[in-house]
Structure 1
Amino acid sequence: MEVHEQERDISEVDPQEYVHPESDNGLLVVRHSRVRPPFSVILTTVLYCAEFITAAVMCSMYHKTDDDIWMGFTLTFMLFPAVLIQLALTFIHRDLGRDRPLVLLLHLLLLGPVIRCFEALVMYFKAGKEEEPYVTISRKISLKKGQGTPMEWEIGQAERNLAAHRNAFKRAAVIQAFLGSTPQLTLQLYATIQEKYIFPLRMALMIVTLISITYGALLCNVLAIQIRYDDYKLRLRPAAYICLIVWRGLEIASRVTALVLFSTALTHWVILVGMLNLLFFFFLPWVEFWAKKGSLAENIEKNFSKIGTTVVLCMFTLLYACINIFCWSAVQLDLTHRELIERQQRWDRLALYYSGRLLENFLLITLWYFFKSDFYEYVCAPLLVVQLLVCYGLAILFMLLFYQFFHPCKRLFKYNVHDCLHCVCCRKSVVSPGSRRGKPSYSKAATMVLVPDDQVDGQNSQPLDPCLLEERETAILDDSLEAA
């Protein structure tokens, strides 16, 4: 394999972390000194086990109190995402064609994430610890072509294997969050209000599910950025993660509360509301697919027939619809594309979604206010309505702050939040495309640097001068904006 893919790095790190190659046409490069720990794999596994165990204990308690309906729903929302996660991990790692009976057995016992997490930890602790005494001929050929020493080759292989595990667990976390945790949180909150009692175990289950949903929504944002800018590596600052967590937490909490309050007043009508939302977002990608008169995306899986591909796309669309019921999915489906994701940032859809969702939440809370039961006589209902609307408004505010200040690719946007909030008729002059260089930057450090990893040379590298870094960054940004 003579062709090596070049990666680009989007980060907000100190310039001293970069090195400069000797060639005149070389780009800025960054050194990867060690393998990153699989924190996302561990977190997903912990959330999966915590929610599964807590829900199982809740089912046993519902069985003792003869609450068969709530026990049935709790059991369904516990097992359905667990089974889908086993299928997803097996499908991504392609274990059906490999001789791994122990792994398949643990998947049948719904313990697949545990063994996968253990594999990832073993890969991480073994990476680069010792160099193999025997090097195959293919490895020697690769090393002669400039891929470094055998130990560096092993570290690169471990990074690729861990990246496969991280990607698989990110998809598993999204499945767990929106096919299991969101309905589970809604059910347990509804049960708490109906019983008029806060049970500690049920409260623990609701907290775990809320964390799982927030983490799944955060992964949706990161996945959308990675797909949109797949030529770059993403490194979000801690402030960006905090902004994302607050945005997603407020959005999901206020949305679930509005649905639950509406269901306590008009129980049967909430089924209609949920089904209308589900059907709308489920058929929206298919209607666009039929309107474009496109063909189904190929190469999803080599062994799949047309029927198998359609089934996979339907499951993918179902997950997309479940996400949009409770929060913004951050991605748009394109069934004609190989990656199934539309790369273009659709600001109009983002505005329409949050405007429509804010209006829907307002209507649900208003209907609850007029048809609420006597239980809420001791609750200040108008204040509760205002609090829910303010929480959703704050979620929108933090969303705008993220796209304006903390998005790693904000300088590549053709229009940002700052531009959209200005009225066109109020502009004093038309800004030409070449004048973007003069616009002030909202970040204190560099927000984008192109990084080809195969040009790293540890012996001949030297630190960059900050002025040179700024000049190269400006040139790179101009070239990227012209290509966009």
Structure 2
Amino acid sequence: VKFLVLLSTALYCAEFVCAVVLCSEYSESLDRLWMAATLTFALVHAFLTQLALTFIHRDLGRDRPFVLFLHLLLLGPVVRCIEALVIYFQAGKKEEPYFTISRKVKLKGSQGTPTEREIGHSAHKLAAHRNAFKRAAVIQAFLGSAPQLTLQLYITIQEKYMLPARVALIVITLLSITYGALVCSVLAIQIKYDEFKVRLRPAAYLCMVLWRGLEIATRTAALVLFSTALTYWVIPVGLGNLALFFALPWLLLWRKKAPLPDSVEKSLSKAGTLVALCLVTFLYACINTFCYSTIQLNLASWDLIDKHLSWSQMAAYYAFRFLENTFLVVMWYFFRSDFYEYVCAPLLVLQLVTGYGMAVAFMMIFYQYCHPCRHLFRHNVADCFRCDCCRKDAASQRSTPKPSPSLGTRSADC
């Protein structure tokens, strides 16, 4: 909890400070357009981060005017970080009544051992801070850092020189997006396997960092290169991606003929629920524009999350994204400007295509060998390559399985 809170706050503060410094340099060089765009992306994710932290902690219904004032000054993550650290260092110094009892299944290979743990008030407050910072990190990454990274790379190519503040902002935004995608992947595992005690090993984190870093870097590079060659055509590409992934959950909801879920927030009206669902769907669309979200929305479910791992959906996404990235890079190759005359264009195209292929390879390695709940999968990556899943499904339809309360039966249903 301490590491997550400190890292999220450090990335937030560093990115905002670098954006402000860069805006001042743009102002001195009379680059008003670049200054306005940089400041807009910095302020948008800052305001959304404050709203997320305030909404999750329910501060509007509590008497905390000083905390709300700091949120208005865009210092919400800082005061939340200090509050979480104070709770962390004071925990365990005095005996306190437990808040609740957590029942989890501890996995060791394919065997599960039920465990119980008492959760005190301090641990419950720290969990609330951890969950709030996780969601704020995802919002910061894909609603602020991702557009900021694309913009600064485009400005660098257009102006043909590098400012120190711009280099720092590019590095920080890339780290922020990779960290947000990593948090999104871990959240997906924890949500889908809520009844199990999930612990990721260092090899799993390394695999996910390589997978997410290569995926985001190659995707952003393809968009930036395409925008430098065909500037106005990148707008329909970006809007088309957002519209496709925004409409997909609503189309699935309409197909199932299900009503709007009323579990978002009990105090919200129907209009407020619709606005909240639209914001969640927009965040989902922004994540899928740059990388695979791993958390699939299901608006017909009470918890809004589809807990079923769909290999066909994942394969369709990566096939579509691979073809789109290849198309963007090839179009840049044919319409590139004179700025790239000293760059080996065919080699750059090959590097970007190979980089995205390596990202997909690290993703498959993660699910095959490093996923903490891989023993619960009904099928894995190797089964899909051997088409064992088709034969197993056909065999399971011919034979009727006997009901059993063992972990294996629960894992197959999961």
Q: TM-score, normalised by structure 1?
A: 0.78
| Cα shift readout 1:69-104 (whole Å, capped 9, x = no counterpart) | 111110110001111111111111111111101100
Q: CA deviation at 1:354?
A: 0.3
- 1:413-432 to 2 correspondences below 5 Å: 413-423=377-387
Cα pair distance change 1:229/1:155, threshold 3 Å: closer
**Structure 1 partner of 2:113:** none
Q: CA deviation at 1:141?
A: 12
Distance of 2:79 and 2:98 partners within structure 1 = 32
Distance of 2:155 and 2:261 partners within structure 1 = 42
Contact preservation (8 Å) 1:262, 1:364: yes
**Of 27, 32, 46, the match for 1:68:** 32
**Structure 1 partner of 2:142:** 178
Does the residue aligned with 2:197 lie in a helix, a strand or coil? strand
- 1:210-359 to 2 correspondences below 5 Å: 210-359=174-323
Contact preservation (8 Å) 2:376, 2:408: no
Does 2:190 align with 1:190? no
Q: CA deviation at 1:426?
A: 11
Does the residue aligned with 1:415 lie in a helix, a strand or coil? coil
Which letter maps to 1:480?
R
Distance of 2:374 and 2:289 partners within structure 1 = 27
Does 2:179 align with 1:207? no
| Cα shift readout 1:412-470 (whole Å, capped 9, x = no counterpart) | 11110010011459989x8779xxxxxxxxxxxxxxxxxxxxxxxxxxxxxxxxxxxxx
Structure 1: 4+ residue segments shifted above 6 A = 140-143, 425-428, 430-433
Distance of 1:70 and 1:186 partners within structure 2 = 12
| Cα shift readout 1:178-226 (whole Å, capped 9, x = no counterpart) | 0000000000000111111122211110110001000110111111111
Cα pair distance change 1:424/1:337, threshold 3 Å: closer
Q: CA deviation at 1:299?
A: 2.5
Distance of 1:340 and 1:83 partners within structure 2 = 24
Does 2:48 align with 1:84? yes
Return the index of the structure with the highest Cα Rg.
Answer: 1
Which letter maps to 1:349?
Q
Cα pair distance change 1:287/1:431, threshold 3 Å: closer
Does the residue aligned with 2:305 lie in a helix, a strand or coil? coil
Distance of 1:425 and 1:79 partners within structure 2 = 48
| Cα shift readout 1:367-399 (whole Å, capped 9, x = no counterpart) | 000000011110000000000000000000000
Q: CA deviation at 1:163?
A: 0.5
Q: CA deviation at 1:232?
A: 1.6
| Cα shift readout 1:163-186 (whole Å, capped 9, x = no counterpart) | 000000000000000000000000
| Cα shift readout 1:133-189 (whole Å, capped 9, x = no counterpart) | xxxxxx59999xxxxxxxxx9972211110000000000000000000000000000
| Cα shift readout 1:268-287 (whole Å, capped 9, x = no counterpart) | 00001001011111111111
Contact preservation (8 Å) 2:226, 2:331: yes
Which letter maps to 2:411?
L
Q: Is there any run of 5+ residues in structure 2 with no aligned partner, and where? A: 102-116, 398-404
**Of 39, 62, 78, the match for 1:98:** 62
Distance of 1:201 and 1:363 partners within structure 2 = 32
Cα pair distance change 1:142/1:302, threshold 3 Å: closer
**Of 363, 369, 372, the match for 2:327:** 363
Which letter maps to 1:266?
L
Cα RMSD (Å): 2.5
Q: CA deviation at 1:335?
A: 1.1
Distance of 1:477 and 1:362 partners within structure 2 = 43
Distance of 1:362 and 1:406 partners within structure 2 = 29
Of the structure 1 ranges 299-308 and 392-401, higher mean CA displacement relative to structure 2 is found in: 299-308
Distance of 1:432 and 1:340 partners within structure 2 = 30
Distance of 2:98 and 2:27 partners within structure 1 = 62
Distance of 1:316 and 1:350 partners within structure 2 = 20
Q: Is there any run of 5+ residues in structure 1 with no aligned partner, and where? A: 1-36, 133-138, 144-152, 434-474
Cα pair distance change 1:169/1:414, threshold 3 Å: same
Q: CA deviation at 1:482?
A: 5.2
Cα pair distance change 1:291/1:374, threshold 3 Å: same
Does the residue aligned with 1:236 lie in a helix, a strand or coil? coil
Q: How many residues are aligned here?
A: 394
Q: CA deviation at 1:480?
A: 2.7
Contact preservation (8 Å) 1:127, 1:154: no
Distance of 1:217 and 1:250 partners within structure 2 = 12
**Structure 2 partner of 1:465:** none
Which letter maps to 1:92?
I
Contact preservation (8 Å) 1:127, 1:155: no
Q: TM-score, normalised by structure 2?
A: 0.90
Q: CA deviation at 1:483?
A: 4.4
Contact preservation (8 Å) 2:368, 2:381: yes
